[in-house]
Structure 1
């Protein structure tokens, strides 16, 4: 394995997650070797790249995806598996920051990502343990006021899929007494994220697409009339280039490197709990996330394990002891699981934008990019993949609207973005603890 592969993803194998251990069979795919030519090249075989690639391949375009490790190796194959509508930045924030017109545009899209996912699963018979419903849980009266405001604003934009849950109603959904109430989104859901990515990759290939794995990109020429993507063993020249490396693009494209910051989040999966205990802790089988600034999220897997995640490490490094970081929070929510065995523990990076709004744009005339989903990439990446495919197909209406949304650089630039962000996170975490 070449040096670039080692620095990118070790031997290029999936992390030791529950998802990797329970992944559906997937074929071995070739490395990019020699000098190749294609109409459209996509860098990154995560949700953004797979979504854009599949939409384009379905329309008959010649498309190749270049992946540094394996399909779904990054956030797309490691995440909490939660189908959550909306962006990290709430409609309230978008309306306040960018105005009613931009908020109305975004509000018209917030359901589309989950619709794409469900359509892909149904159309291509993707086996990924799809389940319905996601719940936002609040700890404090301030959290409940926030949820009430969120529901009212979404309804003002025509969305009526959310329902406030009292403490007693939430207790019927979650076998825990720590929450004050919550809000259920009936159009949300959860699934096995790596199997979703693998199924979409297979669908892309069924439609004529080509995926090169274990081919980390060493350089990209976006200034040429026809962009060139180079790896250690080959190159791919194309008419149109789409960059979907997100948190793992690294320094390959310097103009994008400092727009986002990699942030790691950690997850654990318990041993199978059995039907009775699973029913006790999550009788409705929805996925849950609380609404603190640094939140916890959890759900049941298809084989009745509890998958529990949370915590942040700015800069994208892994904590020394994932279990020590996550298990105390699990026990606070579910003390009845104090003696449960932890079978899997893993970490992964997402790309944080300072505004918490994803970024989409163009470098030169024929290189497109999307990144910065800020922890809401399951639905967001599928949506942005579709919008990227529309732009390549000469429909720039939605692409241009997103591309015009101002992006905000991190305070302190590249050198101080981590400490400044840590200070901000500390302040918001303090507000959560004080209930304000």
Structure 2
């Protein structure tokens, strides 16, 4: 189920074209390693600025997490604004959050300017509490309005349960500016736009080695090589040992998604809104209606196991039914998994490894806005038009802890799950 061809997004692609692998030696201003959203976003901005760009993708454009995720687009990072403030101070934290808001705008601008008529945006996102805390949500709304002029609203419990028919839910934070869309169609459209600007994209072209010490970098595949002044490394959760320091800075974390059968009447008994939904748990559920409400796309759960667990569909179905018992008996059509890249500090890894060698990856499950802004600030760094990428420097390429890091991450997740469950049980007793 992890294969590219098994996801819902692949079946609903409007562009299924395949690109040839790299053969022979070519030259470019910039070689981009990876064909996900961060790589494509940087490549598009560079091509728009007149730079010659070559993108090398081991599989197909959008094959990894960029084309398999929930399709939610909204500001923020994998860790909270409060945590970022503790790490870098209030002013830098504000600047970073503004970048994440800008990332949402980049995606909207691309959809509009590139005429992506095959990628309808559905606006509105509900972040739902599984315990009672309206005052905490109100404080968050006040902070976002005061610091960023960003409008959020608190939905009371009765309004939430009117559209989400689950007793598990209490209040929600409503964000009218966030939206959901088709991420793989978006990635494929970016690729087409790059090629329209004379950029070159090669699929089935895994990078096997590179020389990055000289003024001219050499990036090699099994059947060819690219010579370029600048190289961008954007492998995401599938980053390998090409540059060992990059691989040691991330934990590859698996997440899971399912798609139900077409059952619009049954699904409407549970979910009565087209908005994107997520709950407030550390690794909570996220879901949305697709195909005009005919199916439910449901994601959640994380694990440090990078291989797909047995009985994935059954596991995900139990999670869904625990929230919406009325969906019992709704058949699952498919389920799949993908790898995300998490740094220990939970912030994106964006910066310059050495002159002419750039990296942008590690988005920790919040990659829609951060791939867009990450790609942009790296492109600006290469073009010399800004040094905004330096806002991410304090986080750095921290060692992931190896096997101990994986064990600690899994233990932390289980601990958070237990804490979330205790809060939910307390809320249920108080109801």
Asked if these proteins are the same fold (TM beyond 0.5), I'd say: yes
1:298 is matched with which residue: 275, 284, 287? 287
Q: What is the deviation of 1:77?
A: 0.5
SS at 1:282 equivalent: coil
2:208 — aligned with what? Answer: 218
Q: What is the deviation of 1:277?
A: 4.4
- Aligned-partner Cα distance in 2 for 1:197–1:272: 26
2:149 is matched with which residue: 125, 135, 159? 159
1:372 is matched with which residue: 347, 350, 362? 362
1:4 — aligned with what? Answer: none
Q: What is the deviation of 1:84?
A: 2.4
1:178 — aligned with what? Answer: 168
- Aligned-partner Cα distance in 2 for 1:434–1:44: 41
1:282 — aligned with what? Answer: 271
- Counterpart contact for 1:56–1:389, Cα < 8 Å: yes
The runs of at least 4 aligned residues of structure 1 exceeding 4 Å deviation read 276-280
- Give CA deviations for 1:233-253 in whole Å, capped at 9, x if unaligned: 111110111111111121111
- Aligned-partner Cα distance in 2 for 1:216–1:409: 25
- Aligned-partner Cα distance in 2 for 1:71–1:65: 10
- Aligned-partner Cα distance in 2 for 1:51–1:421: 30
1:416 is matched with which residue: 394, 398, 404? 404
1:433 — aligned with what? Answer: 421
Q: What is the deviation of 1:26?
A: 2.9
1:238 — aligned with what? Answer: 228
- Counterpart contact for 2:18–2:60, Cα < 8 Å: no
Q: What is the deviation of 1:15?
A: 4.0
2:16 — aligned with what? Answer: 26
- Counterpart contact for 1:314–1:421, Cα < 8 Å: yes
SS at 1:281 equivalent: coil
Residues 1:263 and 2:256 aligned together: no
SS at 1:317 equivalent: coil
- Aligned-partner Cα distance in 2 for 1:20–1:303: 18
Count of residue correspondences: 422
Matches for 1:32-181 after TM superposition, within 5 Å: 32-126=22-116, 127-141=118-132, 144=134, 146-181=136-171
State which drifts further: 228-237 or 100-109. Answer: 100-109
- Aligned-partner Cα distance in 2 for 1:291–1:162: 16
Q: 1:75 to 1:145 in 2, by over 3 A?
A: farther
* Long gaps (5+) in structure 1: 1-8
- Aligned-partner Cα distance in 2 for 1:151–1:319: 39
- Give CA deviations for 1:13-69 in whole Å, capped at 9, x if unaligned: 724111111111232211011111111111111100111111111111111100000
Q: What is the deviation of 1:145?
A: 5.1
2:178 — aligned with what? Answer: 188
State which drifts further: 279-288 or 210-219. Answer: 279-288
- Counterpart contact for 1:368–1:388, Cα < 8 Å: yes
1:203 — aligned with what? Answer: 193
Residues 1:387 and 2:377 aligned together: yes
* Long gaps (5+) in structure 2: 427-431
Matches for 1:318-357 after TM superposition, within 5 Å: 318-357=308-347
Q: What is the deviation of 1:406?
A: 4.6
SS at 1:141 equivalent: coil
2:244 — aligned with what? Answer: 254
- Counterpart contact for 2:5–2:11, Cα < 8 Å: no
